[in-house]
Amino acid sequence: MDYSKYQTLKIEIADGIAIVTLNKPPNNLLDLRMHTELTSIPYDLNHDDDVLAIIFKAEGRHFASGGDFGMFDSMYDQNLNQRLYDEAREFVGNMIELQKPAISVVQGQASGMGCQLALLCDICLADEDTGRFVDGHMIIGVPPGDGGCLVWPMLIGVMRAKRYIYTSDPCPAKEAERIGLISAALPADKLMPTAMEWAQRFVNGPRLALRGAKTALNQWYRMAAPAAFNYSLALQMGASGKAEFNEALSSIKEKRKPKYR
């Protein structure tokens, strides 16, 4: 598999373990390029026979702190807007169909598409001091269309999911562990060693059994996606470029509170 096309991700493969690093420090803000690359990397890894387990991590202060203004501004362009939503649908599908065990290692904020990347992994580890998970769509005045309405309620139940999705409040790592959103909140120096232990365990484990178990468990996502994910994606598409979206972006750029009424 040729990974030379990737510019915002660093891919290292050794002994069956692929380490994928989001590489736009310090904040790993998603631009159009990273959005496309995060969409395609699960598919490429899934079809790489040299990869038996995957670790997603990030350079810098934050795992992924949401989209940049260039990406949000592109939503006013009909063709680019359609591309973003096509990629969001493909990204979630590729993560659900990823048959290799995947582990995410989160420091700082995991927001938007980066949040769904972390939560759609099989094991999610976060820095107990800095890690936090945010579905940031209320901040930009649109419903969550990149998988939040699918993943959060599947992991923590509908009632708890509403609390975080309706507000875009951050869920700190220790609370995320307590309510079952993530696997573990750990000291920073324990994150990668623990991730590597899991990855090596998967590499040395029964491959067909692991693949079958993951395929069966992800069936819960496959069954829910047509109702929750596809519907929420359509709703976000409908809200993009509307008055509340415009006000949200203006308020962020002007560093003030939005005025929706």
Which tens digits make up the pLDDT trace of 189-219? Answer: 999 999 999 999 999 999 999 999 999 999 9
pLDDT at 107 over 90: yes
By DSSP bridging, strand 132-134 and strand 123-127 are unpaired
Task: Give start and end residues of each alpha helix (H) in the chain.
Answer: 32-46, 69-73, 78-97, 112-119, 148-156, 158-165, 173-179, 191-203, 207-217, 219-224, 230-239, 243-254
Farthest CA pair distance, the chain = 58
Work out the pLDDT band at 76, boundaries 50, 70, 90: confident
Residue, of 69 and 48, whose pLDDT is higher: 48
pLDDT at 67: 87
Whole-number Å distance between alpha carbons of 85 and 37 = 14
Contact between 146 and 140 (Cβ < 8 Å): no
Tokens 């598919």 map to which residue?
A: 43
pLDDT at 174: 98
pLDDT at 209: 98
Q: What pTM did the predictor assign?
A: 0.95
CATH number for 1-189+208-261: choose from 1.20.1050.10, 3.10.129.10, 3.90.226.10, 3.30.10.20. 3.90.226.10
CB atoms within 10 A of CB 83: 15
pLDDT in tens, 114-158: 999 999 999 999 999 999 999 999 999 999 987 899 999 999 999
pLDDT at 99 over 90: yes
Give helix 112-119 / helix 148-156 axis angle, nearest 10°. Answer: 40
Domain segments of the chain: what residues? 1-189+208-261
pLDDT at 70: 83
pLDDT at 123: 98
Average per-residue pLDDT in the chain?
95
pLDDT at 34 over 90: yes
For 192-220, the DSSP string reads HHHHHHHHHHHHTS-HHHHHHHHHHHTHH
pLDDT in tens, 228-254: 998 999 998 888 889 999 999 999 999
Whole-number Å distance between alpha carbons of 162 and 149 = 9
What is the arithmetic mean of pLDDT over 80-85? 88
Whole-number Å distance between alpha carbons of 203 and 70 = 39
pLDDT at 146: 79
Whole-number Å distance between alpha carbons of 37 and 228 = 24
Whole-number Å distance between alpha carbons of 216 and 96 = 11
- For the chain, the straight-line distance linking the first and the last C-alpha, in angstroms and rounded, comes to 52
pLDDT at 145: 84
pLDDT at 81: 83
Beta bridge partners of 48: none
pLDDT at 72 over 90: no
Close Cβ partners of 254 (under 8 Å, ≥ 6 residues apart): none
Chain centroid to Cα 106, Å, comes to: 11
